[in-house]
A and B are shown apart, each in its own frame.
Chain A
Amino acid sequence: MDHSAAFDETIDPLTVAETWKNEGRDVAIATVVETWGSAPRPVGSHLVIDAEGNFQGSVSGGCVEGAVVAEAIDILESGKPRMLEFGVADETAWQVGLSCGGRISVYVERLG
């Protein structure tokens, strides 16, 4: 986790997730669960997404957030958690990767 100064409740992803849920929104939580090589965000980092595609937090330096948000909207509908992997090793050109050369696994699940 992040050992930075006290979390700012307006941008802290887990606080935002709770607020959104209390407002009756559907919320998905993405978590970096594994990293290989250099990765922009440490294991444990969160990105939270609602059904409209609003998001808060980050799982990479911005490289894969778009793809995670798109997947999260699917997961909100199906309710089934999914493990996503991103890395430069992906040769399929249309897939998003990490410019830093690392690889990350992101677990995306529905809140509730």
Chain B
Amino acid sequence: MDPKSLKEINEARRARRAVILVTDLTDGSDRVVRENDRVSGGLAEPVAKAFRSGKSGTVESDGRKHFLNVHLPPPRLVVIGAVHISQALAPMARIAGYDIEIIDPRTAFATPDRFPDVPLHADWPETVLKDRPFDPYTAVAAVTHDPKIDDIPLKAALDAGCFYVGALGSRKTHGKRVERLMAMGLAREAIERIQAPIGLDIGAASPAEIAVAVLAQVIAAFRSRGLAEEEKSRAA
């Protein structure tokens, strides 16, 4: 492997950017492809597919065997609201392999006592986002019920192309939210990406059950990431 390729891969991983290392198995040469790089020739389609699926593998192109090693950032779950649901969601998400963090400006809620060992930001989401912006490998669950806290991160999540955006609230509450988000300049089509009421419909009643429903929905969104676009491109 070219040491420059290794350096580039490691930098991308630290910066949460997706890259693929393409190794020509015939001569051992390699190069790093970033998610929006143009790839020409027979490798274009396999590379695009590997970015979508996250699956590494060997492909044959132009009579040569290439190994595509996909490095996608680990999925992150940001929960807006240090509430009862979040207390159950945090340990569950961690077990499922997600980097979890919780944001809530209400210092009475966001206390280390209530959230031991969970990265906790007792600050406004817009402040936290300046240092830790959302990206396509982030899931955002807004569960405070308070427009002052939830609305801005919801817009930021849609703008950043987060793979999952969910918001707590009844259909009626969500209807009002849609109006507010449209007033903030979001298109209706973008707003429709919000999962509301939040969580899979499993009849969840307790905060812990709602946490299961939310986590299951996040996992489903992550594992089907890009499949919609794939279907669209097949239909086209």
Contact = CB atoms under 8 A, between A and B. Distances in A.
Nearest to B9: A14
Contacts of B69: 1, 31, 44
A24 interface: no
Contacts of A7: 13, 74
Given A1-B71, A6-B99, A111-B6, A81 B28 contact: yes
Contacts of B115: none
A14 B6 contact: yes
Nearest to B137: A3
A112 B99 contact: no
A43 B97 contact: no
B173 interface: no
Contacts of A34: 57-58
**B interface, size bucket:** 20 to 34
Given A6-B74, A29-B1, A31-B67, A107 B23 contact: yes
B188 interface: no
Given A3-B54, A3-B97, A44 B10 contact: no
A112 B3 CA distance: 5
Interface stretch (A15-23, A65-73, A92-100): A15-23
Contacts of A112: 1-3
Contacts of A15: 10
A49 to B, nearest CB: 13
B70 interface: yes
A107 B67 contact: yes
A83 B25 contact: yes
A6 B56 CA distance: 19
SS class of chain B's interface: helix, strand, loop or mixed? mixed
B180 interface: no
Interface residues of A, number: 25
Contacts of A43: 55-57
Interface of A: 1, 3-7, 14-15, 17-18, 21, 29, 31, 33-34, 42-44, 81, 83, 107, 109-112
Given A5-B99, A34-B57, 9 more contacts: A1-B56, A3-B74, A4-B74, A6-B99, A34-B58, A107-B25, A109-B1, A110-B1, A111-B3
30 contacts: A1-B54, A1-B70, A1-B71, A1-B72, A3-B54, A3-B74, A3-B222, A4-B74, A5-B74, A6-B99, A14-B6, A14-B13, A15-B10, A17-B6, A18-B3, A18-B10, A31-B67, A31-B69, A33-B58, A34-B57, A42-B56, A43-B55, A44-B56, A44-B69, A44-B70, A81-B28, A107-B67, A109-B1, A109-B28, A111-B1
